[in-house]
Structures are given as C-alpha cells and as structure tokens.
Chains A and B, each alone.
Chain A
Amino acid sequence: MPPGTKVFDPGWVADHVGQIVERILQHLELTILPLILGILISLVLAIWAVRQQRVYAPITAITGLLYTIPSLAAFALLVPITGIELITALIPLTTYTLLILFRSFASGFTSVPADILEAAEGMGYTRRQRLFRVELPLAVPLMIAGVRLASVTTIGLATVAAVLGGEKFGGLGQLITEGIQTFFPTKYLLGAVLSVVLAFSADFLLVRFERFITPWAHARVGGG
C-alpha cells in the first residue's frame, strides 16, 4: 500500500467498527419503521379500495401527490411542527412507500380469481373469514413484490435523512455526508457500499421470505 491518502483505508474501518455498526442500525431504523407503517396504512387502504372501488382513484392520486414532494422540502415543512427529531424523517419516508405499497396491495387483492371468491362465499365463509383466510394469503405474492420495491427505495431515500439526523439518527447517509465534507473517501465509499449491500440483502431476504410463506406459488407441477 502506498503511503498518504488512500482511496480506501481498511485501517480506519477496523478502528471505527462501533461507529459503523451504529450507523447501520440507525439506517435500519430509518428503513424498517417507515416500511412497517407504510405496510399497515397501505393494507387498510387497499382493503378499503377493493371493497369500494370508487376510492381507488382518489387514493392513487393522493399517494402519487405525496410521492412527488421532494424529501428535503418535506423535512423543511415538518421541522417547525415536529422538530429535528426522528419522527420528522419517518413521516416522509413513510408516505413515499404508500404509492408503491398501496398499488401492489390493491392489485394483489384484485388478482384473486372471481371463481375462488365465489367458491368461498358459496361454502359459507363469512366476509371476514374470506378476507383473512383466502384473499389476503392469495394477495401475498404481489404484496411482497411491492414491499421489495418499497424497501429498496426506502433504503436509498433514507440516506437523505442525514441532513436532519446527523450523529443522532443520520444512518449511512451521515457516513456519506461526513466523508464528502472531510474529503475522506473511505467514509463516503463505505456509506455508499453499505447502502447498496443493505438494499441487496433486504431484497434477497424478502425473496426468501416470500418463497417460505407461499410454497403453493412455487410448487412444481407433478411434484410433491
């Protein structure tokens, strides 16, 4: 290794493992909380939209509108109300998930074939039983496709939260920001690489999860 400024300094990394882990955990917090909130809100909205088709278009319009608000603008608007707190970052990160999640959840429910719904009704499922035991399980593959997309998007977007969070909850974005400000490539490269690794891992885990909970969707013809 040549002396002087290195593009990547493994020594620094080894010395700052604690800090790096903390940033990763912060980033996970910035990602997982909005996703869970987004999933819950979208699920309610999607069930509503499937029951009452006329609300589908307005919900799509509103979630689309929320998606177009730039994240920095959203932070600026929220700071006077919620202060420089984690919640200020979580609100826009949550609303950004809604467009993707709502659409994929709604299409998950509408993908359930009519004959299956009719069979369920004819055999005496109550509406609630049908929703939770038939429609929801069958919507899962499309729902998870949406969650995969939303999680990758949120992991990327969460780096912007560094402008608010700083040391407190800035996540991997904080590593990147600091690295750029101090002309220290190791830091911002690490931040960027870890974001990508996080995104890939999340996607991979969701794929595995989907296979695990929907074995029926992957059953081979003629297999057992």
Chain B
Amino acid sequence: MADQSRQAATVEFAHVTKRYDAPTGKEKGKPTPGAVNDLSLKVPAGKICILVGPSGCGKTTSLKMINRLIEPTSGKILIDGVDASTRELTDLRRSIGYVIQQVGLFPHQTISDNVATVPRLLGWPKARQKERAEELLGLVGLDPAKYRGRFPSQLSGGERQRVGVARALAADPPIMLMDEPFGAVDPIVRDRLQNEFLRLQETIAKTILFVTHDIDEAIKMGDLVAVFETGGILAQFGSPLEILAAPASEFVARFVGQDRGLKRLSLLRVSDVPIRPAVTARPGDAAADARRRVLDDPNRYLLLIDPGNRPLGWIAHGDIPADGPLTEALANPSSPQLNKRTTLKDALSLMLDADVQTGIVVDRTGAVQGLLSIDTIADKMREGEHAAAFDQVPPPEPEVGDLDPADDPGATPDAVVTEA
C-alpha cells in the first residue's frame, strides 16, 4: 500500500460486446442470458462501481471479461488505458483481486496459506508471504494468532468471506472484482460485512467492480451504479442519488422500486439536513427561568442535560414547576439519539419506533448538538421525489466516499445510533 501508483487503476469498457449462440426454436429472437451489448463505461480509480440488474443481464459476464475468464466478442477493456487483451493472462489475473460468492477458499490450505495465494504465485519470499497474510487477516478483523493455522472448514460463512477479501487483497492489486461477495451469508452478517468493507475501502481505496442483483446493496455500496437490463444493455450509469432521483427509463424506475424516496434517505445523513437548537437546562437550574425559555421551542419541550451536555430527558412545558430547582426525576427519558453520520433512514425508523417527533443529535462525547424533527426528514424525502433531473442532486461525489474517518473513528460508515 506504500506504492501509491499501484493503489488503484481506472477500468474502462469501450464498446464491449459478448455474444453467445443465439437461442433457436421457440426461444428464437429472445436475448441470450449473459450476453453483453455494446457496453461502454468508465470507472475512475479508487471508486466502487456496482453492476446491478436482473439475472442473465450480463453483469457477471462483464465482470469476468475484466480478468478474461470470459473473452469479449468485440470491443476493448482498458485498465489504466492499457488493453487487457494484450496483457499476459496469468500476469493480468494476478494483478486483479477476485472475490466470488461461494468464496472458493482452498479447503486443503490453512487460512494463512489461502491469503498468501497470489504472493506465492508471484514468488514472494516465504517470510514476506507470511507477514503479508498476517497483516491482511488483521485488516479484515480476524485475529491472526487465532485464525492463521485453521482450515476453511473451521470457519463460519462470514469469516470465510472475510478471508476471501483478504486473499483478493494479498498482492495489493489496483483492482478488485467482487461477484456477489456477500450473497451467501445471512442478512445480518451481510450488513456487517458490507459496513466493514466500506470502512476497509476508506483505507485501501481500490477500484472495485462489484456485481449484485440487490438494488439496496448497490445503493449502499456504490460510488457509481451501473444498472443492466436483460439483453446486456446498460440502462443507466451514475451515482446512487442520481439513479434514485432521476431513473433514466421505465425499467430503471421499476428496478429501483416504488420506495426510492425512502431509499434516498439511506444515502443521506443527519449532517445533510438542518438541525435546530435545543432549549436545554441542567438539574438544579431555576425552573422558572427554564419555563420561560422553553416557549422558544416549537414543541415546547425542555431538554435536561448533565454537566457534560449529555441528554438526560425531556420535560414538557406544562410539567416544569413554577419555581424551585429542576430535578432529573421530572425528565422523561425517551428520544432516540442520533449523530451527524446516522442515515436519515435510520433516524426516521428510530423516531417512529420511539413514537416521537424529534431526535437528539449528539456528538462523539454524547453532548447535545441540536434536534432533528421528523418533518425535516419528510421534506428531504419529498425533495427527492420531485427532483426532475440531475441538476437538483449533488454532483456524483459519492456519499460513502466522502466520509472523513477522523471525524468519528469508531463509527461504521452506516448508521451509528445510540438508543436513549
């Protein structure tokens, strides 16, 4: 990873077509599954591009043409401007990380040996192979001391998938191809693996081409999303927000689903919407003063906070005593706490679950920063529904890519929510 020039490469499809023998008889005239029709798209270095579409739409074929497991009928695939078909085959493949749904770990090799596969093929010295395997196991969150000597059969599905990712990264390839990498694990593990992978990508910044049939995964994981239509036709290529805001065709609109306003919320975060200040007071403060000040709040709720500015609970205007000090016993401790990086979708769902109108936005120390009301989220959602064209959405700067890890090192790129 020290060698910046190798860190990531651009991948460009230039009029790539893959034809298979046309169906005959009754099926004649129908598109052949897996075919690709004049595909042109360019993935900038360091971005995650998701290829998504119904089965047989050619997304996996497109992926496999990059490492030439499938050769195109016509057209070129350029990696950093170099035609992939001119590269020596094994050399090309060893420079591209490859992760598949069934993982395909070698059952007869230890985890450490599995991870060191490509370094071994490249003839790295044994010690360096070993060192690299340990480093990568750590990177994907598997304790090397515990896992290095195990065999794949001794690992859970999620652990195996992590080893698969580590193996693909072993020789620090500038490109990773991932074919439904999280498709074979249960939804909870999948969600965790997705989050871990996005966090990992912040460090490794590879060019990633990622195949899925799941539009939600595409929206969550992609800097760019390429929606494929049956027959190997690229229906739309753009950022997830662009695709949700302005589907290019009836097909794309149907594919992304009726709930694209809601899906947009999963891409937007608390930091993307205005928050309003809270009226706060501490236990021991004069109730009379608080009772006066709380009239400034549209909902007339006072937020009781501790000396560290952490929320203790709400006191309704009517419940604030006319005089004397405020006490914690008066507070009603029910409101979800959000942070700047909580997605609006999670914020909305937390508020609905808690049956409240307002969420408390807190910083890393738990100190109150302001309040987010359910109406603000609803406004944002409608904004997406009415967006007529691309000009209303932010530039294709990816939502997941612009996260600053220094901002909140402990947080996953997805929602970090602490229940009140």
Within 8 A of B (CB), among A199-224: 214-217, 219-224
Inter-chain contact A116/B121, CB cutoff 8 Å: no
Inter-chain contact B98/A123, CB cutoff 8 Å: yes
Inter-chain contact B151/A216, CB cutoff 8 Å: yes
Q: Which residues of A contact B117 (CB under 8 A)?
A: 123
Q: Which residues of B contact A221 (CB under 8 A)?
A: 153-154
Q: Which residues of B contact A126 (CB under 8 A)?
A: 90
| Set A113, A121, A124, A214: member contacting B108, Cβ < 8 A | A214
| Set A116, A122, A217: member contacting B69, Cβ < 8 A | A122
Chain A contact-residue range equals: 20 to 34
* C-alpha spacing A124/B101, complex, angstroms: 18
Instruction: Produce 1/0 per residue, B85-107, CB < 8 A to A.
Output: 00001111110001011111111
Given A124-B118, A137-B108: A216 and B153 within 8 A (CB)?
Answer: yes
Instruction: Produce 1/0 per residue, B342-358, CB < 8 A to A.
Output: 00000000000000000
Given A138-B108, A216-B109: A118 and B121 within 8 A (CB)?
Answer: no
Inter-chain contact B151/A219, CB cutoff 8 Å: yes
Within 8 A of B (CB), among A100-150: 113, 115-116, 118-126, 129, 134, 137-138
Instruction: Produce 1/0 per residue, B46-71, CB < 8 A to A.
Output: 00000000000000000010010100
Q: Which residues of B contact A121 (CB under 8 A)?
A: 69, 93
* C-alpha spacing A120/B168, complex, angstroms: 11
Q: How far is the CB of A176 from chain B (nearest CB, A)?
A: 42
Instruction: Produce 1/0 per residue, B202-232, CB < 8 A to A.
Output: 0000000000000000000000000000000
Scoring B69, B98, B104, B149 by chain A CB atoms within 10 A of each residue's CB, the highest score goes to B104
Which residue of A has the minimal Cβ distance to B88? A124
Inter-chain contact A115/B151, CB cutoff 8 Å: no
Summed over the interface, the residue pairs from A and B with CB atoms below 8 Å come to a total of 80
B293 at the interface (CB under 8 A from A): no
Inter-chain contact A220/B100, CB cutoff 8 Å: no
Q: Which residues of B contact A115 (CB under 8 A)?
A: 100-104
Given A116-B106, A138-B108, A216-B108: A123 and B121 within 8 A (CB)?
Answer: yes
Which residue of A has the minimal Cβ distance to B155? A221
B150 at the interface (CB under 8 A from A): yes
Scoring B92, B94, B151 by chain A CB atoms within 10 A of each residue's CB, the highest score goes to B151
Which residue of B has the minimal Cβ distance to A121? B69
Which residue of A has the minimal Cβ distance to B122? A124
* C-alpha spacing A220/B151, complex, angstroms: 9
Given A214-B108, A216-B109, A224-B149: A122 and B154 within 8 A (CB)?
Answer: no
Given A123-B93, A123-B117, A124-B118: A219 and B102 within 8 A (CB)?
Answer: no
Q: How far is the CB of B165 from chain A (nearest CB, A)?
A: 13
Q: Which residues of A contact B64 (CB under 8 A)?
A: 122
Within 8 A of B (CB), among A2-20: none
* C-alpha spacing A123/B170, complex, angstroms: 11
Q: Which residues of A contact B93 (CB under 8 A)?
A: 121-124
Q: Which residues of A contact B107 (CB under 8 A)?
A: 116, 138, 216-217
* C-alpha spacing A138/B117, complex, angstroms: 16
For the A-B complex with A214-B108, A216-B109 known, give 4 more contacts whose Cβ atoms are closer than 8 Å: A116-B106, A123-B93, A125-B121, A217-B108
Q: Which chain B residues have a beta carbon within 8 Å of chain A's beta carbons?
A: 64, 67, 69, 89-94, 98, 100-109, 117-118, 121, 146, 149-154, 167-168, 177
List 29 interface pairs A-B (beta carbons < 8 Å), by A numbering: A113-B104, A115-B101, A115-B104, A118-B69, A121-B69, A122-B64, A122-B100, A123-B94, A123-B98, A123-B121, A124-B89, A124-B90, A124-B121, A125-B90, A125-B121, A137-B108, A138-B106, A138-B107, A216-B107, A216-B152, A217-B108, A219-B150, A219-B151, A219-B153, A219-B154, A223-B154, A224-B146, A224-B149, A224-B150
